[in-house]
């Protein structure tokens, strides 16, 4: 069985020269961001390249709070949804997961249970469901990470580190995790993940940014065009859990081979929007890395390409999001943002036909995703 678990991010990026610009980092700046309900101090770090592309990241959950990207005229807008304060993230991020590192296991685990090495492990169920979601009641997205600004030839960088102790959220093993954010000089937000464990344990990390290329407060993303390099999705049954089958996208509302408006087929989907996992295509025998997804906002000209080494891509279009207050007093409504979550397939622990997500002592979990921005 093919496993995508242990990879070489540096080898992958040797085929992405546009992301490896060797200019000096511009800025990596920390500022206080308050304290959690438990009294733990939180800081926000600003990564800004010499062209003005700016990302702001919290030590709480590794949350990407802001991402400022220029349009075709050079005007910058913040293109990720979020909140104005730490208490709002603490209160709401068990429901919406704005901008956080997601795991130990992103997406769903059926019945909140799995068997590993002859033992059954029980995890917390997501409220109102029969599945475990995004790592549980705490998860990496609600943990405090150690932050270290790093010198990186590709641009300003921040290394976040967190050790999840044995038994946290019900998972076995002490998991040592590092996530590196880089704002490259050539216009990408690069995220590199690495983890090791002292016991066999499942690992499936992703990033849960909600993008809106017109600006976080600009309304629906329905008119923004999307292309996904996938010929199949993992078929979803009750509660959007995989059945184990992979079904063709051709002739269905899930066919994004050619760029189409994200919302053009909402009415054809029972959910009224997307929360589906796409099986990404791989170029057989080729060392060329190509984008697995591309999104463009026709009005502003902002464009985002997604590169990754992961086998799956979860498209979520704020389908379940009720109206909430976001940054700057804006009101976020259904379909106001989209997530492109690079990851292994949902509920992989119950589907041996999917690539394995089990990490064992002596192995290194290593993966990467890049969001590359331009304007046309």
What is the pLDDT, as a whole number, of residue 274? Answer: 98
- What domains appear along the chain, each with residue ranges and CATH number? 9-220+317-375 (2.70.98.10)
3-class SS at 19? helix
Task: Please report the sign of the dihedral spanned by the C-alpha atoms of residue 307, residue 231, residue 242, residue 121.
Answer: negative
The alpha carbons of the chain give a radius of gyration, in whole angstroms, of 19
Q: Is 328 left (phi over 0), alpha (psi -120 to 50) or beta?
A: left
Which token pair is 3? 């496993």
> What are the residues whose beta carbons fall under 8 Å from the beta carbon of 77, sequence distance 6 or more?
68, 69, 71, 214, 215, 216, 218, 300, 302
Predicted confidence pLDDT, tens digits, the chain (376 residues)? 233 333 333 334 434 544 444 444 456 779 999 999 999 999 999 999 999 999 999 999 999 999 999 999 999 999 999 999 999 999 998 889 999 999 999 999 999 999 999 999 999 999 999 999 999 999 999 999 999 999 899 999 999 999 999 999 999 999 999 999 999 999 999 999 999 999 999 999 999 999 999 999 999 999 999 999 999 999 999 999 999 999 999 999 999 999 999 999 999 999 999 999 999 986 555 556 889 999 999 999 999 999 999 999 999 999 999 999 999 999 999 999 999 999 999 999 999 999 999 999 999 999 999 999 999 9
What is the pLDDT, as a whole number, of residue 281? Answer: 87
Catalytic residues: 208, 341
Measure the CA–CA gap between 102 and 206, rounded to whole angstroms.
Answer: 5
What is the pLDDT, as a whole number, of residue 286? Answer: 52
Full-model pTM? 0.93
Measure the CA–CA gap between 238 and 346, rounded to whole angstroms.
Answer: 13
What is the pLDDT, as a whole number, of residue 229? Answer: 97
What is the pLDDT, as a whole number, of residue 26? Answer: 54
> What are the residues whose beta carbons fall under 8 Å from the beta carbon of 34, sequence distance 6 or more?
41, 42, 85, 86, 87
């Amino acid at each position: 069985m093919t496993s995508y678990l242990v990879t070489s991010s540096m080898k992958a990026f040797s085929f992405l020269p546009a992301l490896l610009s060797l200019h000096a980092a511009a800025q990596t700046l920390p500022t206080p961001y308050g304290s959690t309900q438990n009294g733990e101090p939180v800081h926000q770090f600003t990564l800004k390249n010499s062209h003005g592309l700016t990302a702001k990241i919290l030590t709480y959950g590794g949350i990407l709070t802001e991402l400022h990207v220029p349009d075709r005229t050079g005007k910058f807008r913040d293109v990720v949804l979020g909140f104005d304060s730490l208490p709002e993230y603490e209160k709401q991020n068990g429901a919406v997961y704005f901008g956080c590192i997601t795991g130990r296991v992103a997406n769903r685990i059926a019945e909140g249970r799995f068997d590993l090495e002859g033992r059954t492990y029980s995890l917390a169920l997501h409220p109102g469901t029969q599945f475990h979601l995004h790592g549980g009641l705490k998860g990496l997205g609600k943990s405090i990470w150690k932050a270290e600004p790093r010198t990186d030839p590709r641009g300003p960088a921040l290394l976040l580190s967190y050790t999840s102790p044995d038994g946290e959220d019900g998972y076995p093993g002490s998991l040592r995790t590092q996530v590196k954010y880089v704002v490259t000089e050539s216009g990408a937000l690069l995220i590199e993940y690495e983890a090791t464990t002292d016991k066999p344990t499942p690992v499936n990390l992703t990033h849960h940014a909600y993008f809106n290329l017109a600006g976080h407060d600009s309304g629906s993303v329905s008119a923004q065009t999307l292309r996904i390099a996938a010929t199949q999705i993992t078929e979803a049954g009750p509660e959007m859990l995989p059945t184990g089958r992979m079904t063709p996208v051709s002739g269905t509302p899930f066919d994004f081979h050619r760029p189409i408006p994200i919302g053009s087929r909402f009415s054809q989907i029972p959910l009224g929007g997307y929360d589906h996992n796409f099986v990404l295509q791989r170029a057989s025998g080729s060392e060329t890395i190509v984008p697995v997804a591309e999104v463009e906002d026709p009005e502003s000209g902002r464009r985002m390409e997604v590169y990754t080494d992961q086998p799956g891509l979860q498209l979520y279009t704020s389908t379940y999001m009720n109206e909430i207050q976001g940054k700057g007093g804006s009101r976020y409504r259904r379909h106001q943002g989209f997530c492109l979550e690079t990851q292994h397939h949902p509920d992989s622990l119950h589907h041996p036909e999917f690539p394995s997500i089990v990490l064992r002592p002596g192995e290194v979990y290593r993966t990467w995703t890049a969001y590359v921005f331009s304007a046309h």
